[in-house]
Amino acid sequence: MKHQIIAGGLLLGLALTASATVYNYDYTVNTTITDGSPVGITEAAVLSGMTGNGGNLVGNVDVRLNISGGFNGDLYGYLVLQSADGSTITSILLNRVGRTDAGGFGYTTAGMTVTLSGHMTQGYANIHDVGSPGAGPYLADGRAINPNGNFSGASTAAGLNMLNGINANGTWMLFLADMANGDQSTLVSWGLDITVVPEPATRALGAFGLVIGIYAASRRLRRQQLV
């Protein structure tokens, strides 16, 4: 009986893991981000047809950014999901990375090719704290404060994990602005890796049904072996 319980637990875990589907989207834009202008640029993608084993909820989002030139510490950017379920969620991707107070400057490094993730449990560094970013993944900045404000002790709660549990289908909008004069950045390309999962109740019931089915089959097999 003990072995059957352990096997059931393993099957449940496998079933939950297998229920996710990842959708990848890539956009090459080569769009100049106006230097020293809060107006910024907006790139939008209308996405539909995403479903993971009967569900369409966001399980995780990774955002890929390829930015050249400029000063990384000047950049402010966010991702908006206007979902098919009627909700609108905004995640702060970059907010003057490296800046600590109202009068300071962010990092002076030029450009980045990074992946920003909503995986809070992976122990990733926050992009705000990475002076010379590599490929990542890093956690999105998440600081929903004025880009010209005081960053000391600011909350990082507005990360990409805010999108989890929302219908993934809808309009996804990337906004980027250069908040200080000095040099010009270009958004070369951007992309989304969206993990879609069913609703928790549906997922759990499906996994439970699988475990029960395997257990029943093993019982029948044992009876046949004893005959």
Please indicate, yes or no, whether residues 179 and 134 belong to a single structural domain of this protein: yes
pLDDT tens track for 170-184: 999 999 999 999 899
What single-letter amino acid sits at 209? G
Residues 122 and 62 in one domain: yes
Q: Is the pTM of this model over 0.95?
A: no
What are the phi and psi torsion angles at 136 (to 5°)?
A: 85, -155
Whether the per-residue pLDDT at 54 is higher than 80: the answer is no
The reported pLDDT for the residue numbered 222 is: 52
Domain carrying residue 213? 1-19+198-227
Compare 103 and 85 and report the one with higher pLDDT: 85
Q: What is the pLDDT of residue 220?
A: 53
Mean pLDDT of the 83-101 span? 95
User: Which of 123, 120, 122, 65 lies closest to 97, judged by CA?
Assistant: 65
Q: Is residue 38 packed enough to be buried (19+ CB in 10 Å), middle (13-18) or exposed (0-12)?
A: exposed
Q: Is the pLDDT of residue 223 over 70?
A: no
Same domain, 72 and 2: no
More confident residue, 218 or 202: 218
Q: Do 34 and 56 fall into the same domain?
A: yes
Tens of pLDDT along 105-133? 899 999 999 999 999 999 999 999 999 99
30 phi/psi in degrees, rounded to 5: 50, 55
Question: Both 72 and 169 in a single domain?
Answer: yes
Both 26 and 109 in a single domain? yes
| Separation CA 186–CA 188 (nearest Å) | 6
Are 203 and 101 found together in one domain?
A: no
If one counts the domains in the chain, the total is: 2
pLDDT score, position 217: 44
Question: What torsion, rounded to 10 degrees, do the Cα atoms 199, 205, 206, 209 define?
Answer: 180
Average pLDDT, the chain: 84
User: Is the same domain home to 15 and 32?
Assistant: no
Identify the CATH number of the domain in which residue 62 sits. 2.60.120.260
